[in-house]
Amino acid sequence: MSRFLQRLNIVLGVIAVIAVVAVYSQKHMAELTAEKIGRIESAIAQQQADLSILKADWAYLNQPTHIQPIVDRHNDVLNLQVAEAKQFGSFADLPMRPQQRLDTESLDALFETVEAGEDPIGSLLEGLL
């Protein structure tokens, strides 16, 4: 009996050591993953900050007060003119939507079938089966 308990203690000790090593490796992997997540989150925050700066620059560069001097400076090359309302067209120029006609014969036949107490879908399924 004492020999059995001695072997059982050795086996349980080995299992305990393996469990400690497994728990430590899982803890280490979780810490590495947390560090990677932190780096990715900081990179995302930096990119969002850069993007907000770019959006502000874009808003500034697209202001008419910023663009007009450039247009004036290069007007001889660009030969730009003010757009007139007649260049865009009018609603009268748009074609009317075509009238959609309902297939009244098929609808009448369907309603007559339903009023007669027949199941139109059931008869279609019987024909298929």
What are the pLDDT digits (tens) for 8-64? 999 999 999 999 999 999 999 999 999 999 999 999 999 999 999 999 999 999 998
Q: Is residue 116 part of a domain?
A: no
Q: Is residue 120 part of a domain?
A: no
Q: What's the pLDDT at 38?
A: 97
In a domain, 44, yes or no: yes
Residue 121 within a domain:
no
How far out from the chain centre does Cα 123 lie?
44
Q: Kindly tell me if the per-residue pLDDT of 129 is higher than 70.
A: no
The terminus-to-terminus CA distance of the chain in angstroms comes to 76
Tell me the HSE value of 72 on the side-chain side, using a 13 A CA sphere.
Answer: 6
60 in Cβ contact with 66 (< 8 Å): yes
Q: What is the mean pLDDT of the chain?
A: 88
Query: Which whole number is the average pLDDT over 57-80?
Result: 88
Residue 112 included in any domain = no
User: Does the residue 52 lie in any domain?
Assistant: yes
**pLDDT exceeds cutoff 80 at 1:** no
Residue ranges making up the domain that contains 74 = 1-87
Q: How many domains does the chain have?
A: 1
Look-up: residue for tokens 């990715």?
40
pLDDT score recorded for residue 127: 67
Give the burial class of 61: count Cβ atoms within 10 A of its Cβ; 0-12 exposed, 13-18 middle, 19 or more buried: exposed
Could you tell me if 113 and 120 are in contact, meaning their C-beta atoms sit under 8 angstroms apart? yes
Share of the chain above pLDDT 70, in %: 98
Residue 23's pLDDT is 96
* pLDDT for the residue 41: 97
The answer to whether the CB of 110 falls within 8 A of the CB of 120 is yes
pTM value?
A: 0.47
What is residue 80's predicted lDDT score, i.e. its pLDDT?
A: 81
pLDDT at 20: 96
Question: Considering the domain boundaries, does residue 103 fall inside one?
Answer: no
**Do residues 59 and 68 make contact, with C-beta atoms less than 8 angstroms apart?**
no
